[in-house]
Structure 1
Amino acid sequence: MAYGAGSADNSGLLPPKLSGYNIFSGNPVTLTPGNGFVQYELATGLFTDYAEKQRLIKVPAVKPITAVNDGLPQLPDGTILVKTFYYFRDKRTPSKGRRLIETRLLIKNNNQWMAGTYVWNPEQTDATLATGGSNTPVSWIDENGRGRKISYRIPGPRDCASCHTADNNLMPVGLKVRNLNITVTRDNKSINQLKYLWEAGVMDNVAPEQFAELPAWQNEKYGIQDRVRAYLDVNCAHCHSDLGSCARSAVRFAWEIPLADTRITEKGKRIVNLMSKGSMPRTGTTVVDTAALGLIKQYFQLP
């Protein structure tokens, strides 16, 4: 599909407040989707300093998205993609509440994508459109009862563009059919997500078995090579592509590229070194994903 050039700096084109979109129903902290917004999940998600994420999509009622292959589906004008980043105050007990940090939007109109980042206020009642990047202190208790503190990076327009731009075209990254082709729970029932999105009016009817399934990188039922490749595909492939910001690199991480053509195996030490230093991914994180790094070290048999 051809994507318009778009822009990551739309401070003059987007509403100043997130509430103008009616994305959430009732108290925003509950993250209850508003009318027309449908939640979706990914098999493997982007790592962002251990933040939790809610993903929503809204499409025009008469124009569902179309899956043509395992990659990005065809998304009609009027599509809104929403990703809200938050932390549970105590991950062991989610009922103790959450803190919303930011909500990122990708909006398609006239065959062009626009991006916007909205920062939540301390009262957690609304979020304001950001015109530049910023840092905010975040603290939480993790699943092991350990108190954590970080300086969370909220991206500016240039940060967004560094990952979401290919050949000067702004475009989505994670919403690939193979990453959507998973089993989810809706209304206390298990259902293939592609089927669910069709029932919800978001996607054309498809046969899920016709499409690949990206492994969930943390799921040990998959082999280590598949888990590592899934993680690298989601976290690194968008930059390490022929049209991405790391096009000059010899390494490619996209899932669909045969391993022998990626140079992943021969660059194992380099990959681990950059990840250990927090230099890959170079945007969107301030701390190292230690669990993923450990798995990748194991795969390359490195200490």
Structure 2
Amino acid sequence: MAACIALTALTLAGCQRTPPPVNFIAEGKPAMLSAWHVVESNGQRLSLNTGVLPYDLNTPLFSDYAHKLRTVWMPAGQSATYRDTAAFDFPVGTIITKTFYYPRAEGSPGNALRQTSMAPGGSPTEGLDLSQVRLIETRLLVKRTTGWVVLPYVWNDAQTDAALERTGDQKALELVDDAGRHQHFTYVVPNENQCAACHVVNLKEKVFTPIGPKARHLNRTLRYADGEENQLARWQRVGYLTGLPPASEAAPLPRAANWADTTLPLADRARAYLDVNCAHCHQAQATASNTALRLDAQATVDWQMGLCKPPVAAGKGTGDRLFDIVPGQPDASIMTWRLASTEGGVMMPELGRNTVHEEGLQLIRQWISSLPGRCNATESKL
């Protein structure tokens, strides 16, 4: 009997194969996500390969209430270079992934549960329990000698692998909120060109760059498998970041607010939300630079951020409102009108969502309500 048990144990151990190392593919566009060996799925669990570092942002981009598992990997001996405000300077060979997933609704495995807290099934930094979450897509940003390449992969129904969908894809999903209300919507996987529209930060020079891996977004504590640690410190310690300046009380490192942390100042939370959701287009030289509306962390809260600023070319997106932001009056502001819409040509952001982020909208409404001043030209209209 003991011999049989020992034999069974050896047999099971032999089945637990170690995945091949991460595979940086310097040319071409592999048809399947599994070719890269960054994240691995056996249909029951999504796991991170050796050397793949998970990370998270202080305030994430809203994407139809999807949760995201973010990872970064770099070749041995290679590191990113620290920058104060822009995305880090990553070496050739870097692979950044973002896996979009939803917690499964209780009693309805095919549905998604709308929530802002961490999904069940353990910390995403340690992988994902696929009995409790549904994988939708994994996007890769790969740094090659010619620059960054974006590759969108869509997961199959068995949750065992994801196929490259260069022209994008659509998924009919149903969201269930904490009150039990159901919302049907179409989740859109962007095509390669749509991805570039958000990641190109300099239209003239066609500079393509990651959005999330910036000091202010990464400067936070994350729970890893071996304990909690500041992400910037972890990146430096594992050799993924060089040039990190020493932080002090007099000279702290940049840090964006957590938009959902109500203990933080309202203005900081709103600015962080606009920075990560809107500023990849609304900044100098980017896709929406012609609007003269700047929503990045470096912009000042004045006309350039929309205060009493008439739109340049919003069309029906104005909702008959005269200014992007009317201090103290969110209902009279174009910004909240567009955030509250899902209509093409009206909603903002234009890509990446087909639902309204109700909590984010409420945050921006509260912030606008708190702003002092008035726009004289609207007094007779509002």
TM-score (norm 1): 0.89
In structure 1, the residue matched to 2:236 is: 198
Specify the alignment match of 1:177 in structure 2: 215
**Equivalent-residue separation in structure 1 for 2:192 and 2:40 (angstroms):** 28
In 2, the alpha carbon distance for the partners of 1:233 and 1:133 equals 26
Please state whether the residue corresponding to 1:273 is helix, strand or coil: helix
Change (3 A) 1:208 1:284: farther
Asked whether the 8 Å contact 2:41–2:161 carries over to 1, the reply is no
Deviations 1:162-220 (A, max 9, x none): 10113222221111111001111223633211111122332226335542101011111
Q: Which consecutive unaligned segments of at least 5 residues does structure 2 have?
A: 1-26, 106-112, 122-130, 309-323, 326-332, 371-382
Point out where structure 1 has 5 or more consecutive residues left out of the alignment: 1-11
Per-residue deviation, residues 116-143 of structure 1 (Å, max 9, x unmatched)? 1001111111100002122111235444
Matched, 1:259 2:274: no
Distance 1:68 1:244 in 2: 19
Helix, strand or coil for the counterpart of 1:49? coil
Counterpart position of 1:94: 120
Look up the match of 1:41. 56
Measured in 2, the distance between the counterparts of 1:198 and 1:217 equals 26
Larger Rg: 1 or 2?
A: 2
Higher relative contact order at CA 8 Å, sep ≥6: structure 1 or structure 2?
1
**Secondary structure of residue in 2 paired with 1:94:** coil
Q: Give every structure 1 segment of 4 or more consecutive aligned residues whose post-TM-superposition deviation is greater than 4 Å.
A: none
Residue aligning to 2:329: none
Contact 2:299–2:305 under 8 Å retained in 1:
no
Asked if 1 retains the 8 angstrom alpha-carbon contact of 2:174 and 2:184, the reply is yes
Equivalent pairs, count: 292
Q: Matches of 2:340 and 2:176 in 1, distance apart?
A: 23
Relative to structure 1, the CA distance from residue 264 to residue 218 in structure 2 (aligned partners, 3 Å threshold; closer, same or farther) is farther
CA distance 1:212–1:245, shift in 2 (3 Å): same
Which residue identity lines up with residue 120 of structure 2 in the other structure? Answer: P
Query: Within 5 A, what are the aligned runs for 1:60-71?
Result: 60-71=75-86
CA contact (8 A) 1:195 1:208 kept: no
| Native 8 Å contact 1:275 1:281 kept in 2 | yes
Length-normalised TM-score, structure 2:
0.72
Query: Kindly tell me: are residues 111 and 73 of structure 1, through their superposed partners in 2, closer, same or farther at Cα, counting changes over 3 Å?
Result: farther
1:162 aligned residue: 197
* Rounded Cα–Cα distance in structure 2 between residues aligned with 1:214 and 1:101: 28
DSSP 3-state at the match of 1:60: coil
Bigger drift between 78-87 and 189-198 goes to: 189-198
Alpha-carbon RMSD across the aligned residues, in angstroms, is 2.2
1:292 and 2:356 equivalent? no
Residues 61-113 of structure 1, C-alpha deviations (whole Å, 9 max, x = no match): 11111113232111111111100001110358824511100000111111500
Q: CA deviation at 1:149?
A: 2.9
Q: Is the 8 A contact 1:56 1:83 kept in 2?
A: yes
